[in-house]
């Protein structure tokens, strides 16, 4: 067995050979260390400490071999031979739908994936149009092959504590061609230039084993015989026969929520968080986080994660994209929604993050407004953003310092948001409770990091799609909808996940529940 050793390597020593440092840490004599492999690496940029890397290293003695890192594998589930295989339709090709398909296949159950949007390549052309101000409501930054995370920063960390399940998803991604660092970095990310290739590889692997993809196939309802599902109805009239439906449609599938509500499927409101994208010049964030070491060639563009409280609400940064772009993430015409992405090398001159305040389900309006009141709440903000932006996906923006002083911005600095920004007063866009929470939260953040409240920082609206405002109810044990046998809500749109890895984990969980039911 190799020895595992934890080390701190100061930034300026990062280019020195590691062997002698490992030997000193292990109390070995010079020359005792043989092969070694970094198992974990994180940048330690905490204030008041020397800047450098914390490493966990597996090291073998000279002359001994270092076993290869084990790629995590889940034990394969078994579909019982006596139970006929169901016809499975998976609605949505995002991480939840894709990993449900992958897991079912491990048990020998192929599926049909129905995807509203287009495959990655033609989808890219629609994103280019969106960046020029023209939205395709069926093919955009949220809808299309691979789901909402395809053209994203591709951050792969999650709040899930299930290390084995996370390692298995990362193992799948490695098998599809993800860079090896995703296993060792504490904050792994893939980037929008690499993600589409991985997703194409995933599709090819699934198709080769019998999974059928139908693109530009919008699920528009379910045909049932009372309690059981018989088919998924598509927009345009076609039907896809199915006994089991995994509904993995993401947080922006508003028409799906409408037809589920119309069919009497149990839905409930869910708290969300809304606000703005905040954008700074990346060198400014580097100076805040790295101090005098900013600009050091071994340092990556700096990251931050901020939390505060404002008006009794949580205020926090969300989905921070160092060296990234703000992108148009609306799915309905007449609305403006922003989000963030980056390439693997994170080399844009800007740093952006969501800056959001929590909104409780009770903020959406009285109970009588129903389970979809959160969608109406989001849409009202998105329409106000479109009106303040002036059309063509232009986003309203305000200098952070003007937002705090409650005065409109007259002119704005540079931004990465390609459809363009319009100088605005965000009081016309955000609900008063959100504005005041954000203002208080920003002041609290400024008390800790004064340079963060910089006049060059822009607030760009609206960041409304942080998660789904609706939960498609499912039973805790079977993971089925209590309203309809065979209906399995999954992933972020169903309200059970947030983020790429967590949605993939939920897809696996749902597939396991489908298999477990057959085993009973």
List of residues contacting ligand FAD (CB under 6 A): 91-97, 114-117, 141-144, 147-149, 152-155, 218-219, 248-250, 253, 256, 319, 327, 329, 339-341, 491-493, 497-500, 503
Q: What b/e string do you get for 287-301 counting C-beta neighbours within 10 Å, with b at 16 or more?
A: bbbbeebbeeeebeb
Closer residue to ligand FAD, CB minimum distance, 77 or 119: 119
In sequence order, which residues have a C-beta less than 8 Å from that of residue 347 and are 6 or more positions away?
301, 323
Residue 333 or 406 having the CB closest to ligand FAD: 333
Q: Which of 114, 442 has the CB closer to ligand FAD?
A: 114
150 φ, ψ (degrees, to nearest 5)? -65, -45
Torsion, Cα 268 273 276 279, to 10 degrees, reads: -130
Q: Please tell me the distance from the alpha carbon of residue 506 to that of residue 511, in angstroms, as a whole number.
A: 9
Q: At 260, give phi and psi (nearest 5°).
A: -65, -45
Cβ burial 312-326 (10 Å sphere, 16+ → b, else e): ebebbbbbbbbbbbb
Of residues 55 and 395, the one with the C-beta less far from ligand FAD? 395
CA separation for the pair 466, 353 (Å, rounded): 11
Residue whose CB is less far from ligand FAD, 412 or 468: 468
Pairing of strands 111-114, 212-214: parallel
CB of 361 to ligand FAD, least distance (A): 20
Residue from 90, 87, 88, 143 nearest 120 by CA = 143
CB atoms inside a 10 Å sphere around CB 44? 15
Sheet containing 239-241: which strands, arranged edge to edge? 219-224, 229-234, 239-241
Least distance to ligand FAD from the beta carbon of 117, Å?
4
Cα–Cα separations (whole angstroms), residue 389 to 134, 401, 462: 14, 19, 10
Q: Is 459 helix (H, G, I), strand (E, B) or coil?
A: strand
Closest approach, Cβ 454 to ligand FAD, in A, equals 24
How many angstroms separate the Cα of 235 from the Cα of each of 140, 253, 513?
18, 14, 29
Distance of CA 325 to the CA centre of its chain: 15
Min dist. Cβ of residue 124 to ligand FAD (A): 14
């Amino acid at each position: 067995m190799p020895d595992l050793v934890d080390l701190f390597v100061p930034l300026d020593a990062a280019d020195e050979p590691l062997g002698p440092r490992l030997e000193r840490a292990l109390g070995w004599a010079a020359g005792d260390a043989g092969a070694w492999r970094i198992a974990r690496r994180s940048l330690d940029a905490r204030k008041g400490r020397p800047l450098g890397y914390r490493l966990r290293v597996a090291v073998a003695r000279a002359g001994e071999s270092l076993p290869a890192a084990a790629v995590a594998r889940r034990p394969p589930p078994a579909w019982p031979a006596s139970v006929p295989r169901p016809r499975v339709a998976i609605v949505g090709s995002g991480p939840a739908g894709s990993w449900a398909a992958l897991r079912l296949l491990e048990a020998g159950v192929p599926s049909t994936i129905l995807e509203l949007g287009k495959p990655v390549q033609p989808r890219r052309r629609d994103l280019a149009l969106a960046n020029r101000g023209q939205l395709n409501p069926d093919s955009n930054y949220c809808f299309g092959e691979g789901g909402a995370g395809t053209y994203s920063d591709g951050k792969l960390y999650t709040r899930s504590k299930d290390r084995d399940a996370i390692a298995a998803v990362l193992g799948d991604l490695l098998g599809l061609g993800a860079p090896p660092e995703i296993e060792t970095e504490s904050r792994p990310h893939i980037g929008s230039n690499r993600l589409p290739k991985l997703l194409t590889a995933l599709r090819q692997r699934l198709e080769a084993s019998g999974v059928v993809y139908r693109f530009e196939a919008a699920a528009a309802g379910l045909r049932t015989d009372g309690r059981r599902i018989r088919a998924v109805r598509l927009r345009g009239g076609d039907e896809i026969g199915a006994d089991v439906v995994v509904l993995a449609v993401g947080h922006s599938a508003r028409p799906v929520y409408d037809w589920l509500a119309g069919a009497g499927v149990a839905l409930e409101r869910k708290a969300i968080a809304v606000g703005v994208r905040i954008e700074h010049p990346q060198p400014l964030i580097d100076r805040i986080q790295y101090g005098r070491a900013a600009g050091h060639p071994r340092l990556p563009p700096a990251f931050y994660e901020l939390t505060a409280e404002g008006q009794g609400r949580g205020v926090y940064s969300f989905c921070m994209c160092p060296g990234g772009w703000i992108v148009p993430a609306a799915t309905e015409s007449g609305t403006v929604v922003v989000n963030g992405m980056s390439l693997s090398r994170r080399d844009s001159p800007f740093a952006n993050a969501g800056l959001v305040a929590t909104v409780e389900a009770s903020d959406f309006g009285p109970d009588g407004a129903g389970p979809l009141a959160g969608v109406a709440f989001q849409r009202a903000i998105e329409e106000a953003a479109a009106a303040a932006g002036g059309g063509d996906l232009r986003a309203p923006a305000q200098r952070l310092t003007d937002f705090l002083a409650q005065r409109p911005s007259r002119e704005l600095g540079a931004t990465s948001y390609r459809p363009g920004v319009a100088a605005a007063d965000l009081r016309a866009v955000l609900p008063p409770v959100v504005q005041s929470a954000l203002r208080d939260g920003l002041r609290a953040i400024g008390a800790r990091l004064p340079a963060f409240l910089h006049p060059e920082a822009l607030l760009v609206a609206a960041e409304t799609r942080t998660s789904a405002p609706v939960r498609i109810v499912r039973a805790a044990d079977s993971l089925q909808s209590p309203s309809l046998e065979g209906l399995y809500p999954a992933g972020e749109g169903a309200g059970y996940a947030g983020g790429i890895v967590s949605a993939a984990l939920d897809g696996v969980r749902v597939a396991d529940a489908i298999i477990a039911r057959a085993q009973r």
